Structure 1
Amino acid sequence: MSPTEAVIIALAGVAAGTINTVVGSGTLITFPTLLAFGIPPVTANVSNTIGLVPGSVAGAWGYRREMAGQRARLVRFSIAFVLGGSLGAALLLVLPPSVFAAVVPALIALALVLVIFQPRLSAWVARRHEHLGGLPEHGAWWVWPSMFGCAVYGGYFGAAQGILQMAIMGAGVPDDLQRLNAIKNVLAALVNAISGAIFIVVAVVDWRIVALIASGSVIGGLLGASVGRRLPPKVLRAVIVVVGVAALASFVKG
């Protein structure tokens, strides 16, 4: 790995950490960057997942004030994410690498659709959110199984899992959306940590990549929790879409 490549990967980590804290689709920055430097898809995914853990923790710390009074809800959803994240990570390791390489274009395309339509999705969530009176603190009955499914996806690949989380919780949990975003950051850190711990034991990890993304994502996570909230959403989405489309095009071409 050349010094230039190392700097680019670290900067991608900064961008991913910021975007994950604010929106939740930073993998669409780091993963294509690693692929562009010739890292095998599964190794890139595994190393990226582990590298983003510190950034997710930093983002969660930045939203710690919004976590007040949400302990019971966090415990309930954490169970879904421990189980679902473990299952998703196991699927990545048990299935042949060719399966992951084959489904990555579909996963990237799904993530891009979520990013592109995120404003409309957020508007729908906000409208839906106004009519959640009377629901229990943990939300409607379908929220937990939906969060479990989101965790399986997060353990397997994870791009745009934050958008999925906010869509689920925003549509079914009666609380302020900023407080739900705080929950999102903690759960993203949890699913990355769970799947990352499994990957460390049984998968091939490129620790140089982990170190570079981790150092960058911590800076990005802190930025996302402070100035990141004031960044123009259109700019963030544009960057994500451009990088994601380039990655998708490279897969299709290959």
Structure 2
Amino acid sequence: MPWTEALLILLAGMAAGTINTIVGSGTLVTFPTLLAFGVPSVTANVSNTVGLVAGGLSGTWGYRREVRTCATELKRLAPMSFLGAVVGALLLIKLPPEAFSAIVPALILAGVLLVIFGPRLQRWAAKNQADSDSAGRRGLLAAGVFVAGIYGGYFGAAQGVLLMGLMSVLLAQPLQRLNGVKNVLGTIVNSVAALTFIIVSTQHVNWTIAGLIAVGSLIGGFIGAHFGRKLPPNVLRGFIVVIGVVAIVNLLVK
């Protein structure tokens, strides 16, 4: 691999780690970069997933204070992310690449709308005395996290938008705390999917690419946590919406 190509993949991994920590859509940087260098799509997706685990770990560490305050929610939601990731990773191996092409933009759009209208929906629920910890809400959130886990294990771009949208509506927590939870759940999904790929589809892992992305995203995770935690809620919400719209456009025009 030429050093210029290696450097660009490293920088793409750094950008992806930063974006993933702040909102979650870094695959939209690394995946097209790998395709531009002629890497087959499945190999690019699998190697990218393996590499981005490092960025998830550093981003989660950067949000550790927010994560500690949401231990109860994480205990409920982490198993759903785990199971969804296994299903999604197996679907990637078994199904043709076009299988999710119709539903993915719709899922991301739903996430964007939930992020936009989340505060209003929360106020409506409070006004109507809806219990933020009711069994119905918990069940709906668990199901949504499971679906997001399937999507994350299958492809992953803008998984964070989906998670933030769901949690903005169904969890009465500040946005930065939700971002910490999102980082943990996203890291679980990426880790499970990566392990699944390594076990059942080792031939699709390009370890040079995965290693470059891992180093870059590890650095990017720390950068994203440093700056992301300082963003006011409305700015963070706006950033999520912009990234979500970019993801939809990218998926529809490719």
Specify the TM-score bucket, using the shorter chain as the normaliser: 0.7 to 0.9
Matched, 1:39 2:36: no
1:212 is matched with which residue?
212
Partner of 1:187: 185
Q: Secondary structure at the match of 1:24?
A: coil
Partner of residue 23, structure 1: 23
2:162 to 161, 164, 169: 164
Cα offset, 1:130, TM superposition: 3.2
Which residue of structure 2 lines up, in the alignment, with residue 68 of structure 1? 68
For 1:56, the aligned partner's letter is G
Which of 130, 133, 149 is equivalent to 1:136?
Answer: 133
Q: Secondary structure at the match of 1:159?
A: coil
Alignment coverage as a number of residue pairs? 243
Give the TM-score normalised by the residue count of structure 2. 0.84
TM-score (norm 1): 0.84
Unaligned runs of 5+ in 2: none
Q: Name the SS for the 2:156 alignment partner.
A: coil
From the superposition, tell whether residues 50 and 199 of structure 1 become closer, same or farther in structure 2 (CA, over 3 Å): same
Unaligned runs of 5+ in 1: none
In the TM superposition, 1:223-234 aligns within 5 A as 223-229=223-229
Distance 2:219 2:152 in 1: 22
Give the letter for the 1:194 counterpart: V
Amino acid at match of 1:74: L
Change (3 A) 1:243 1:148: closer
In the alignment, is the contact (CA less than 8 A) between 2:109 and 2:245 conserved in 1? no
Q: Does the CA-based 8 Å contact 1:17-1:221 persist in structure 2?
A: yes
> Matched residues in 1 for 2:103 and 2:7: separation?
27
- Per-residue deviation at 1:126? 2.1
Deviates more, 1:209-218 or 1:105-114: 105-114
How far residue 18 of structure 1 moved from its aligned partner, in angstroms, is 0.7
- Does structure 1 residue 145 correspond to structure 2 residue 138? no
Question: How far apart in 1 are the matches of 2:224 and 2:133?
Answer: 30
Q: Taking every aligned residue pair, what percent have the same amino acid on both sides?
A: 45
Instruction: Say if 2:17 and 2:216, in contact at 8 Å, map to a contact too.
Output: yes
TM-aligned CA deviation for residue 111 of structure 1: 7.6
1:212-238 deviations in Å (ceiling 9; x for gaps): 111110111111101245688778987
Matched residue type, 2:39: I
Aligned match of 1:222:
222
* Structure 2 partner of 1:80: 80
After TM superposition, the structure 1 stretch with the greater mean CA deviation from structure 2, 69-78 or 5-14, is: 69-78
What pairs with 1:90-129 in structure 2 (closer than 5 Å)? 90-95=90-95, 99-100=96-97, 102-103=98-99, 106=102, 109=105, 113=109, 118=112, 121-129=114-122
Which residue number corresponds to residue 177 of structure 1?
Answer: 175
Confirm or deny: 8 A CA contact 2:53 2:187 kept in the other structure.
Answer: yes
